[in-house]
Structure 1
Amino acid sequence: MGAHQYVSASSADTSIGIPRRYAWMVFALTFGLLISDYMSRQVLNAVFPLIKSEWALTDSQLGLLSGIVALMVGLLTLPLSLMADRFGRVKSLTLMAVLWSLATLGCAVAENYQQMFFARFMVGVGEAAYGSVGIAVVVAVFPREMRATLASAFMAGGVFGSFLGMSLGGVMAEHFGWRWAFGGMAVFGLVLALLYPIVVKEKRIASPRLKDESGQKIKPAKSPLRSLYSSRSVVATYIASGLQLFVGGTVIVWMPSYLNRYYGMSTDKAGITAAVIVLFSAVGTILCGMLCDRLGKDRPDRKVLLAIIYCLGGCVLLMTAFALEAGTLQLILICLGMFLALGTNGPSSAMVANLTHNSVHGTAFATLTLANNFLGLALGPLVVGKVSDIIGLHHAFQLMPLVSIAAAAVFFYAKRHYHRDMERAHLPALVQNPEQNREN
């Protein structure tokens, strides 16, 4: 009975009664705020050279300004996601957007490093749970057969936001000054934050009460939270995903500075060029995820194998690129390396979903976000910044891709236990509904 209820709950269509046009409006606004989230986060990277020069900062200090946002996201994503489920997702998303936009405005008026650090700290607090809560809103308003596609597109929105933040921020900083770059991102976020609760209503996106075929309410499974850490594979996936984002996240943060120092590019040109590299990452995230779904449809373990291939392929391409002198060939190889480096997002998400209980998938993805931020997006820029202070940014970039080898090794460990952990996690559901589990 419990397994049967588990399958029913996970397959319930929460979009019943929601007009498709309204669903797309919800998606557009939620997606737009995700773009604002990452524009506010990544605009700093485009203005690194200007702030470094004006305030005489070290690379370690610059790396900390970037890493503090990811650190706060990692620390707060779980508790704030749980609070949003109780307080109301629309109210929570609106408050988050207002907070990170006002904090970004604080960056624009900061007079010294300490004020900038506090403002970036508050940006991180505001952005902490937006990804996990936002995706919960999106999947709630669309039919279940569209959820995987929309979730993948939503996740890629973060990379597109990075692209816009770095490119537009670089142009605005070059022509109007770095403070206006932060101000522009803040205004964009505030406008969307004010519009969001006017269009998106909590009562229209709330999930219905789930019932089984007999009309009885479905009871939650016993201790579903245990599945978050109950298998070796899922813990290894959290770690491997975070380690791989050490590489991808570091390149995104430091590439404008690299182009400014070693290519002699102006702030606007460096921002646009770095944004193109980030765009390759976004395309790679989507296409590598699609390939993962196609090849792993009947063989779930292929998802893990593809994650390993993406890690090692990206490592080879990036190490080759940073062994070359500055030039067109190096930039092409960096683009190709980043195309693969962030391709692990799809397999990692799929593995976490397969290895955890449906009723706690939101918390599971928040846990994955925590690992990604602690091990990758926060640690990577900070460590590379400190290494850069000692041996220079170019040599630091030469060493950085080696972390992908560690990520591949942890994914390999996950692969060794994946089949057994899948069987243990889904055997009850397999007995009750074998057809659905073959599709997974």
Structure 2
Amino acid sequence: MWPARRYAWYVIALLTLAYALAILDRVTIALLIQPLQASMHINDMQFGLLQGMAFSLVYSVLGLPIGLLCDRWKRVPILVAGLALWSVATMACGLARNYEELFAYRMLVGVGEAVLVPVAASLIADYFSPDIRPKAYGVFTTGSAFGAGAALIMGGLFLVWSNHLIDDVPALFGGMEPWQVVFILCGAPGIVLAVIVMLTCKEPARKGVVNTSESFSLRPVFHLIGRHPGAFGCLMLGTVLNLVCVYAIIGWFPALFIRVHGWGAAETGWLMGSVGVPINIFAALTSGWAIVWLNRKGHLDAPMIAASFCAIAMVAFAVPASLVSSGTLALVFYALNAVFVNWNISAAYSGLSLITPNEMRGQVMALQTIAQGLIALTAGNFLVGLLTDTVFRSPDGIAYALAVLFAVCGTGSFLILMAGRKAFVRAAAEANAATAG
């Protein structure tokens, strides 16, 4: 017996909102590049590390033990703790007095957010039957789309509000700089959501569990991946390379518009967010429906196909978005690319869920989280900064750095995903047979 459908979708709404807040807290810093560099005297590489490695190092390392926990313990309390921690840590970023303190607080944000994907992926698999589960993952990924857009829109709005708060509420914000107030405003909603989740979310019964009472051993997971290395390896690596591009867009496209096209930070946030939010939400929703449709047409490798569309878009749309001379045209290509960006996330989650037994899903999702953090989040932010500081050092160098990254990673992702389709079909057929048996 599956949980009541209406309640299951209510939980999805909370998880989606949590995802949105996680992305908001993670990426709003991209809009603050100018005031942070002015306040803390840091270069592009340091800023790239602040966006990426400061967050991704602990986010990645903690993913696997958290995956083990959520495969064996109650998941809702783990989610509440993580949500509260990353929200408080985001607010603490606004109190940082130097680069080192800000780096440390960003690490704490990563500790809290490491909880979300393994726990949410496991919960969703026990709230929804396999025939509609990709749709649920598609809705969940709208949180990423909404959060990225909200980070731009709300970040710009918070920059405007911060000046008023500093002047009108000196008892709380007097003596602060606007970027500090922005961090506090970003983190506060997560505290409220943590309380709501704690009071209203129920732990679902696990479906199809073989044995969750074993010791905390990773041997079964590595045995599973070793049995289907092509399926797991190509899906995980292909989607991670796509995410290198995605994080480069989130972390550096605001700087592209500010530096190359002369837009202001608030203007950049409002325009990118206003264009990106509706398109990204549409893309996240349609991704799940597209995967379901492809499955019904007999394509067991539907997640691989969906992720490959994201890879194609990076080359076809993100590269010209970086290089065109008009800011308006760059925004048009940015919008076209956004149509397919969230197909990658839905493909990764639904694909791994399809070929992984219930009692290992949290661990496999944690491995994906590690790869996303150590490779995608770190590289997507650091490599662009490295290229602008060492190779493309002209004022418009960020455009060429981004174009190179999108061309290389998008092409690589497409080739890897295509190479793994047959192996994924075999793994999916075996998983379906085991479930039917």
The two structures have a TM-score, normalised by structure 2, of 0.84
Q: How far apart are residue 21 of structure 1 and its match?
A: 5.5
Q: Is the CA contact 2:31–2:152 (under 8 Å) kept in the aligned structure 1?
A: yes
Q: Is the CA contact 1:242–1:374 (under 8 Å) kept in the aligned structure 2?
A: no
State the one-letter code of the partner of 2:224.
S
Q: How far apart are residue 405 of structure 1 and its match?
A: 0.5
Following the alignment from structure 2 to structure 1, what is the Cα–Cα distance between the partners of residues 26 and 424? 35
Matching of residue 262 in structure 1 with residue 280 in structure 2? no
Q: How far apart are residue 428 of structure 1 and its match?
A: 4.9
Closer, same or farther in 2 for the Cα pair 1:46/1:186, shift >3 Å? same
Closer, same or farther in 2 for the Cα pair 1:149/1:183, shift >3 Å? same
Matching of residue 59 in structure 1 with residue 27 in structure 2? no
Following the alignment from structure 2 to structure 1, what is the Cα–Cα distance between the partners of residues 290 and 15? 26
Q: Pairwise mapping of residues 351-390 of structure 1 onto structure 2 (< 5 A)?
A: 351-390=351-390
Q: Residue in 2 aligned with 1:397?
A: 402
Unmatched segments (≥5 aa) in structure 2: 163-177
Q: Is the CA contact 1:46–1:167 (under 8 Å) kept in the aligned structure 2?
A: no
Q: How far apart are residue 228 of structure 1 and its match?
A: 3.2
Q: Pairwise mapping of residues 17-416 of structure 1 onto structure 2 (< 5 A)?
A: 22-67=7-52, 68-141=54-127, 146-176=132-162, 177-200=178-201, 204-207=202-205, 224-225=220-221, 226-231=223-228, 232-276=230-274, 278-279=276-277, 280-297=279-296, 298-301=298-301, 303-390=303-390, 391=392, 392-402=397-407, 403-416=409-422
Following the alignment from structure 1 to structure 2, what is the Cα–Cα distance between the partners of residues 320 and 209? 46
Closer, same or farther in 2 for the Cα pair 1:256/1:90, shift >3 Å? same
Following the alignment from structure 1 to structure 2, what is the Cα–Cα distance between the partners of residues 126 and 246? 21
Following the alignment from structure 1 to structure 2, what is the Cα–Cα distance between the partners of residues 128 and 318? 28
Q: What SS does structure 2 have at the residue aligned with 1:57?
A: coil
Following the alignment from structure 1 to structure 2, what is the Cα–Cα distance between the partners of residues 219 and 125? 28
Q: Is the CA contact 1:97–1:126 (under 8 Å) kept in the aligned structure 2?
A: yes
Following the alignment from structure 1 to structure 2, what is the Cα–Cα distance between the partners of residues 318 and 291? 22
Following the alignment from structure 2 to structure 1, what is the Cα–Cα distance between the partners of residues 329 and 112? 39
Q: Residue in 1 aligned with 2:169?
A: none
The two structures have a TM-score, normalised by structure 1, of 0.84
State the one-letter code of the partner of 2:406.
P
Q: Is the CA contact 1:72–1:124 (under 8 Å) kept in the aligned structure 2?
A: yes
Q: How far apart are residue 382 of structure 1 and its match?
A: 0.9
Q: Residue in 1 aligned with 2:166?
A: none
Name the count of aligned residue pairs: 407
State the one-letter code of the partner of 1:230.
R
CA-atom RMSD in angstroms:
2.7
Unmatched segments (≥5 aa) in structure 1: 1-12, 212-217, 434-440
State the one-letter code of the partner of 1:26.
V
Following the alignment from structure 1 to structure 2, what is the Cα–Cα distance between the partners of residues 306 and 362? 22
Closer, same or farther in 2 for the Cα pair 1:145/1:418, shift >3 Å? closer
Following the alignment from structure 2 to structure 1, what is the Cα–Cα distance between the partners of residues 291 and 130? 19
State the one-letter code of the partner of 1:183.
I
Following the alignment from structure 2 to structure 1, what is the Cα–Cα distance between the partners of residues 226 and 299? 23
Closer, same or farther in 2 for the Cα pair 1:131/1:277, shift >3 Å? farther
State the one-letter code of the partner of 1:235.
G
Q: Is the CA contact 1:170–1:181 (under 8 Å) kept in the aligned structure 2?
A: no
Q: Is the CA contact 1:49–1:260 (under 8 Å) kept in the aligned structure 2?
A: no
Following the alignment from structure 2 to structure 1, what is the Cα–Cα distance between the partners of residues 301 and 130? 24
Q: What SS does structure 2 have at the residue aligned with 1:79?
A: helix
State the one-letter code of the partner of 2:283.
G
Following the alignment from structure 1 to structure 2, what is the Cα–Cα distance between the partners of residues 343 and 350? 11
Following the alignment from structure 1 to structure 2, what is the Cα–Cα distance between the partners of residues 91 and 220? 18
Moved more, 292-301 or 261-270: 292-301
Following the alignment from structure 1 to structure 2, what is the Cα–Cα distance between the partners of residues 86 and 291? 32
Q: How far apart are residue 87 of structure 1 and its match?
A: 4.4
* Fraction of identical pairs, as percent: 22
Following the alignment from structure 2 to structure 1, what is the Cα–Cα distance between the partners of residues 261 and 321? 14
State the one-letter code of the partner of 1:405.
T
Following the alignment from structure 1 to structure 2, what is the Cα–Cα distance between the partners of residues 118 and 131? 22
Q: What SS does structure 2 have at the residue aligned with 1:205?
A: coil
Closer, same or farther in 2 for the Cα pair 1:357/1:221, shift >3 Å? farther
Q: How far apart are residue 144 of structure 1 and its match?
A: 5.9
Instruction: Kindly provide the CA deviation profile for residues 17-60 of structure 1, in whole angstroms up to 9, marking residues without a partner as x.
Output: x5x55545433333322222121111111212221122221111
Following the alignment from structure 2 to structure 1, what is the Cα–Cα distance between the partners of residues 288 and 295? 10
Instruction: Kindly provide the CA deviation profile for residues 113-163 of structure 1, in whole angstroms up to 9, marking residues without a partner as x.
Output: 111100001000111121220233344345665433222211221221121
